[in-house]
Chain A
Amino acid sequence: AQSVTQLGSHVSVSEGALVLLRCNYSSSVPPYLFWYVQYPNQGLQLLLKYTTGATLVKGINGFEAEFKKSETSFHLTKPSAHMSDAAEYFCAVGLSNFGNEKLTFGTGTRLTIIP
């Protein structure tokens, strides 16, 4: 079984400031971890993912996330926020054992950028 907790349903940051969106997971086997972004009135699109290998993962639009097994976390960061980053962000976890083909999503964090 797996679950995801996103701390903070709404986060506001000033343009140019650091973006930090928090995600903690629980998983019975080594997890695969994802961040998806949803712009207004659109479907979700992949921002980045961790499957195996390097624990610091770089994604599109300058975002990155670090898999920390000891903290069961996969927080999303971006050094300098841009107005175009305003969107809803979803963390998701999948299980690495064969035959488990489902993804569990967190409840989402809506990011607002203050000019």
Chain B
Amino acid sequence: NAGVTQTPKFRILKIGQSMTLQCTQDMNHNYMYWYRQDPGMGLKLIYYSVGAGITDKGEVPNGYNVSRSTTEDFPLRLELAAPSQTSVYFCASSSLGASRDTQYFGPGTRLTVL
């Protein structure tokens, strides 16, 4: 049972480039989340999804886009990368909403924008 997987593990982008961070879960969870983690700031919610075809903005959505065409996959798209998007990105999933249920986190993607 793989749980939540994320690719790539590391990536360096140049300013203005675009990329997609991949996230897949094999637990048949309805809820999926994208967070970014910056030193001393904890985790900030970027986007979340309560099921296939349904997504909503979190606390810091600007500069990002998501889609949820299947239950398993929840990719995060960065358009026109900026240095402010240098961070560690975590994908998570849960059976019920994160406010009441255990979230399962992926190992993270460390992104640097130069």
Interface residues, chain A, with chain B CB atoms under 8 Å away: 9, 32, 36, 41-46, 49, 51, 90, 94-96, 100-103, 105-108
Q: What CA separation (Å) do A40 and B44 show in the bound complex?
A: 19
Q: What CA separation (Å) do A90 and B58 show in the bound complex?
A: 19
Stretch from B64-72, B74-82, B101-109 at the A interface? B101-109
Interface residues, chain B, with chain A CB atoms under 8 Å away: 4, 31, 40-45, 48, 50, 58, 90, 92, 97-100, 102-103, 105-108
Cβ A43 vs Cβ B107 within 8 A? yes
Find A94's partner among B43, B58, B99 (CB 8 Å cutoff).
Answer: B99
Find B90's partner among A44, A94, A100, A106 (CB 8 Å cutoff).
Answer: A44
Point out the residues of chain A lying under 8 angstroms from B40, CB to CB. Answer: 9, 107-108
List, sorted by A's number, 25 A–B pairs whose CB atoms are closer than 8 Å: A9-B40, A32-B100, A36-B103, A43-B90, A43-B106, A43-B107, A44-B90, A44-B105, A46-B102, A46-B103, A49-B102, A90-B43, A96-B99, A96-B100, A100-B99, A101-B31, A102-B45, A102-B48, A102-B98, A102-B99, A103-B45, A105-B43, A105-B44, A107-B42, A108-B42
Q: How far is the CB of A26 from chain B (nearest CB, A)?
A: 15
Q: What CA separation (Å) do A108 and B103 show in the bound complex?
A: 17
Point out the residues of chain B lying under 8 angstroms from A95, CB to CB. Answer: 99
Q: How far is the CB of B4 from chain A (nearest CB, A)?
A: 8
